[in-house]
Structure 1
Amino acid sequence: MASLFGSAASSASASTTVGDLKQDVALSDPPTDSISDLAFSPAPNTPDFLAISSWDNKVRIYEIAQNGQSQGRHAYEHSQPVLGVDFSKDGTKVASAGADKNVKVCDLASQQDIVIGTHDMPVRSVRFFDSGSGTMVVSGSWDKTVKYWDLRQQGPAATLACQERVYTMDVQQNLLVIGTADRYINVVDLKNPTKFYKTLQSPLKWQTRVVSCFPDSTGFAIGSIEGRCAIQYVEEKDASSNFSFKCHRDPVVNNVVNVHAVNDISFHPVHGTFSTAGSDGTFHFWDKDAKHRLKGYPNVGGSITATTFNKTGSIFAYAISYDWSKGFQHNTQSYPIKVMLHPVNNDECKPRPSAKKR
């Protein structure tokens, strides 16, 4: 079938594990500084809108056409770098988390943005979720708190104290997972949002970089700075399925292995397979049930700082920009800053047929 971006059929057979970047299209007019987060609108029966947060203090919203062409639709600013962004479920609003300690929401119809909440320290992560009383926003900050915001009222609807600074956070249905410094992972049932459903220490030995919830909300993936990913189920009855694996590591040379941070993990909305992307400038697609790598892709020429799938899983967006993993001296003027749109072929993200039998 002719798919997005013309015919994206891979020249390699479906059985090969090396993916193809030749069909990938660069986003027009990308940010001017490192890209911190990407979010596609999940709203059904609407065009693909992509929100991007970056260190140039801006949030930009683009419309992505079926052929991969993109057009800027709106932008708004924080007074300091923007560290996280998310779309509301109906696609009408964008929320953003700023180093200026503010949580903002932009209404796309009116193109008005307002500060809906403030933390005592920079805000690292923000997510929309639907509660019984309507659309809510949850934000996680380096002030060691997670705060819930009701768009119809002033001040936080509730505050949850964490053990340490919030580094990463994700929401799927009623599951909220929070990753903090010192490798704490807090799991919250959003039907009872003011207490932890459970707390665990990350099974990975090094700092947590990212948490990402399964599409069916039965568990989550954790990525660390040390080239490892862990698959964790929420309930004890599923704990036998927990495992971790190595990724984003260079081949051994003279008994030395260079390991790279796993900067982002994104789940395919249809198949439940997932991507990892890292400081090494590569991304990979994985099947957690078969414990198998589906595809690995060549180096894209710079660190991948953020990734996301669109609502149908037909586009995989990845941001190339400096991630500070090697200190300020490596952040040169020539370092690439771009967002690439990868058309997802049928076989790239599909689980292996044998997965259910294992």
Structure 2
Amino acid sequence: MSTERELFNVSDGQRAAGWLGYEGADEQRIAALEDRLGTRLPPSYRSFLGASDGWSCPGPFMYEMRTTGALDWLDDDDADMYMDTYDDEQDDASEPVRAPVLLIADEGDAQCWLLDSGDVSQDGEWAAYTWSSWQPGLSDRYGSFAELVAAERDSFQRIKGHEGHAVNPDGAEQLVAEGRAQALRGEAERAAATFEQAAVKGSGAGAYLAVMLGAFLDLAYAHHRVRNGILARPHVIEAVGLEQVRAEAVPLYLGRVAEEHGPGRDISSLIVPELRMSEGKPVADWIPHAAASAPPTLPESPVFQDALDTARTLALSGASDDAWNVIEAALPHWHSESPHRVAPVVLLTDPAFREVITAPRARLVVTTPRGEVRGRQQLG
């Protein structure tokens, strides 16, 4: 699904046909192009031109592919875009060696698509790259034009899914359920990947669980993921509910930002101004209140709540290791009736546990099977 802004260059005829391509170039036109360029084009790109001489919106940041009439080699004046494919064997004092590079798309959001005629596979395919103003040098290397297109298609699907406008939403709920089962078995990384698949299919719940589970796996980067993956996504907040976001995501974000920037910093000013909640209010309207008051409390199972209370008392007295031992012993007893909870996020948000839950311990929390005791009781 694309917005009108993204499809500004799509003609009425393309809209009516549901086809973003054009009439294909015949063999005579392709041969004339190759004669002008002085080389035979790689197979996948040659086939593309035969099917469609140009294309609209081939990627999330590319608006238009060049046609046979506009294709040409990269100008030497733009050689800095080719910096990452210089011959690494050259001495620093010598001139870098470059093969001709074909510029196949350059009408986009500060992005170009390039084919390297000096990097050719056994089957005649040329290596492909993108260059974008927001990244240094060239993108990762793709083995062919076809690989580049496939990667850009996947990128488009990820972006649209995380915006809540999935290209292919089928199966999202099943993936969330599958990821939840994996997470509770302690298969944290596998579950995170499953939740990400659900997020790409537009699931707000999947996106939320991917971020929160990922926080345990990479605590240092947690606030960035919360900001971009939850607070900036109204469909995620709507799917999970504002109360849970305020109880888990917001204090996690604030706590990690405060730890990164040190005491005394006005962390409410660090919130991206464009962030919007599902109710249409800027996050900044309620973040100061959230920072100054205790977040909502989500219910925990009695056994785990008792362990939390004991561990909190120990942690506040300076007995961090003892507090962790209590928490670790109680982890198998943790469970939640909410489908949007797969781990005790309170361990990451409660300031009392700041010295208790180190990065290795955070990972151990989500790699420990949870809900085992409750499951055995139900089976009995």
Name the TM tier (shorter chain): under 0.3
Query: 1 or 2, which has the higher strand percentage?
Result: 1
More helix by share: 2
Tell me: higher relative CO, structure 1 or 2? Use CA pairs within 8 A at least 6 residues apart. Answer: 1
Q: Structure 1 length normalisation: TM-score?
A: 0.26
Report which of the two structures shows the higher radius of gyration computed on alpha carbons: 2
TM-score of the superposed pair, with normalisation by structure 2: 0.24
